[in-house]
Structure 1
C-alpha cells in the first residue's frame, strides 16, 4: 500500500503587495520586489536569485528580516521567515495591504470604471 503525501496547508494568508527591498546573501546584495507577503514568508521578484536552502536578510524600511530560500526560479524566489512578522515596517506594510484588499470588491470596481458604460452614455 502506498501512502500519499499531501502538502501542508499554509498557516498564513498570502497578500499581494509591491514593496521594493534589498536582499543580502552570503556573497551578494541585490534589489528586488516583494509581490506576495504573509507573516511567515514572501515571494520576491527581480534579479534576486539565491540558491535553495540559503539564508539571507531582507531589508525594508530600516528593518532586517531573516529568511531562508525555499524555492527559486529564473526571476523570483520564495522565502520563509524563521521568525514570524509581528511588528515593524514590513508587518505594517502587510497590514496596510490587507486593509486595502478587504474593501468591498464591488466598490473597487465602481471606482475604476468610467462614468459612462457602453452606448448609454452617448447622446
Structure 2
C-alpha cells in the first residue's frame, strides 16, 4: 500500500526506456511518470508485491510493484534514488515547467 508521503511526491511526466527484471523474467518497459518515491511503468504486467530491478541509462533502482493493470504498473522504490536519476528527474521537471509557460505565465 502506498504511503501518504509517496502519494504526495511531485510526479513528473517522462519518457524513459528501462529494462525490468524479476528473478525469472526480463522485459523492456517505459517509465511515463516518475517521482522521488516511485514510477509508473508501461509494458508487460507484473504481479502486485513483486520485487523488480529497473535498469536505465541513468543507473539501477530496486522497486516493489504496488498496483498493476494489463499493460502498466506502479512501483515504489525500495532504495534511495541514485544521483543520476535525480538529475534526470530534475531536468525533466524543469523542461515540463518551461513547456507549460504561455506568454510568461505558468499554466496549470
What is the TM-score with the length of structure 2 in the denominator? 0.83
* Structure having the larger proportion of residues in strand: 2
Q: Find the residue that maps to 2:88 and give its secondary structure.
A: helix
Q: Find the residue that maps to 1:26 and give its secondary structure.
A: coil
Counterpart of 1:64 in structure 2 is 60
Q: Is contact 1:56-1:66 (8 Å) kept?
A: yes
2: CA distance between counterparts of 1:97 and 1:24?
Answer: 25
Q: Is contact 1:40-1:83 (8 Å) kept?
A: no
Stretches of 4+ moved more than 6 A in 1?
none
2:9 to 12, 20, 25: 12
How do 1:1-123 and structure 2 match up within 5 A? 8=4, 10-47=7-44, 49-61=45-57, 63-88=59-84, 90-103=85-98, 104-106=100-102
Sort the Cα spacing of 1:62 and 1:15 in 2 relative to 1 into closer, same or farther, 3 A.
closer
5+ long unaligned stretches in structure 1: 1-6, 109-123
2: CA distance between counterparts of 1:56 and 1:64?
Answer: 11
5+ long unaligned stretches in structure 2: none
Which structure has more relative contact order (CA 8 Å, sep 6+)? It is 2
What is the TM-score with the length of structure 1 in the denominator? 0.73
Number of residue pairs aligned between Structure 1 and Structure 2: 100
Question: Cα RMSD between the aligned structures?
Answer: 1.9
